[in-house]
Homo-oligomer: A and B are copies of this chain.
Amino acid sequence: MSVTIGELARALDAQAWGDLSLPVIGAAEPSGAGPVGADGGVIALAMAPKYAETLQPGCMAILAEGMDPQDYGLKAAIFAPRPRLVMAGLTRAFDPGPDIAPGIHPTAVIADSAEIGEGGAIGPFVVIGEDVRIGPGARIGAHVSIGRGSRLGADALIHPGARIAHGVTAGDRLIVQPGASVGGDGFSFVTPEESGIEEIRRTLGSREGIKQQHWTRIHSLGGVEIGDDVEIGANATIDRGTIRATRIGSGTKIDSLVQIGHNVVIGEDCLLCGLVGVAGSSKIGNRVVLAGQVGVSDNIEIGDDVIAGGASKIFTRVPAGRVILGHPAVKMETQMEIQKATRRLPRLASQVAKLQETVTRLLEKG
């Protein structure tokens, strides 16, 4: 595919400079973008002076505002007022899309009662159960399975090997990366009498007689309800609810290898990064960001707009708007002080030991 740099600038809603008729056929890092040839070329992403150092004369580039294309001998340039936003538009423009051929592959096994909207592309060996409803424009990769009665809105993109169980509903533009599991059973078990976990929650850690008991399964009758514009990462797992559905709000993005427990409710426009775990029945507000490897205990509430730094371990409720960090997670600024003091702790300990000696001597003298 190819557009002129002028067309690209208009699509990105950005200013352009130079020969705007040059054809752009892709994007590259500055070191990978050569001079523009007769058929055009790739556009270099040089949105900060440090990235621009390896730009070659005669090429096209996206620059930050305030950078001068003539300093680098460019033929044409686009100015990015907000570089990552320009990246979004640019990468969308040049994405060839996933590897799913149009139409329904003859090997797909689709229940008679299932309905698939117009323009759907269904890959080889896909399995779609009874009463499934899939909106128009769906692209469903190889080896995907979708269980009985599940419903996906328009323009779903389900990558190869993703597992959507029965009783899952999703809004429009759902993206599911390879191997993700939506609607596996919740991890919910009970012992005939009080279990050790229940005991230590009641006693805050102490234990009486330990009994031998087996776990009985609590089945998961609830499904999963997903809003619009949700993305679910590769091999992530979202468990179904027990009685009501596990819920993921519109605009929320979930990274690879994230685990969402049964009955969890997640608000809108959240980001949950890789290897995050949210235990059963917790509730997460809107616009919450959980960085990689964050853990959220069961049955707690995280308010709107909370941001949790990498590997924060959250054991108690967090009020709206708070920025937290650490294990256990506390306010970020408190954590920073704790970390500083902790690094100095061995020194502090020897300082106290010396003080103790001095004071003892003072006492003896006194």
Contact = CB atoms under 8 A, between A and B. Distances in A.
Interface of A: 26-29, 32, 45, 82, 84-85, 87-88, 91-92, 94-96, 98-99, 105, 107, 109, 123-125, 127, 129-130, 141-143, 145, 147-148, 159-161, 163, 165-166, 175, 177-179, 181, 184-185, 187-190, 192-193, 196-197, 200, 204-207, 210, 212-221, 229, 231, 233-237, 239, 242-244, 251, 253, 255-257, 259, 261, 269, 271, 273-275, 277, 279, 286-287, 289, 291-293, 295, 297, 304-305, 307, 310-311, 313, 315, 321, 323, 326-328, 330, 332-334, 336-346, 348-349, 351-352, 355-356, 358-359, 362-363, 365-366
A26 to B, nearest CB: 7
A121 B233 CA distance: 30
A196 B307 contact: yes
Smallest CB-CB A-B distances: 7 pairs: A91-B219, A184-B234, A163-B178, A237-B256, A84-B190, A181-B234, A205-B332
A336 to B, nearest CB: 7
Contacts of A355: 352, 355-356, 359
A53 B4 CA distance: 64
B274 A275 contact: no
A278 to B, nearest CB: 9
B313 A313 contact: no
Contact of A163 (B145, B179, B205): B179
- What is the copy number of this chain in the assembly? 3
Nearest to A331: B205
A218 B89 CA distance: 7
A237 to B, nearest CB: 4
B366 A235 contact: no
Chain A interface, >50% SS class: loop
23 contacts: A84-B190, A87-B242, A91-B221, A92-B219, A99-B148, A105-B109, A109-B124, A125-B125, A143-B161, A187-B253, A187-B256, A187-B274, A196-B289, A207-B305, A212-B269, A213-B287, A215-B271, A234-B239, A279-B310, A311-B313, A352-B352, A362-B362, A362-B363
Given A129-B99, A275-B275, A362 B366 contact: yes
A7 B145 CA distance: 36
Contact of A233 (B184, B213, B351): B184
B346 A345 contact: no
A185 B177 contact: yes
A244 B339 CA distance: 36
A272 to B, nearest CB: 9
Contact of A29 (B244, B253, B337): B244
Contact of A187 (B200, B229, B273, B358): B273
Contact of A330 (B214, B255, B275, B343): B343
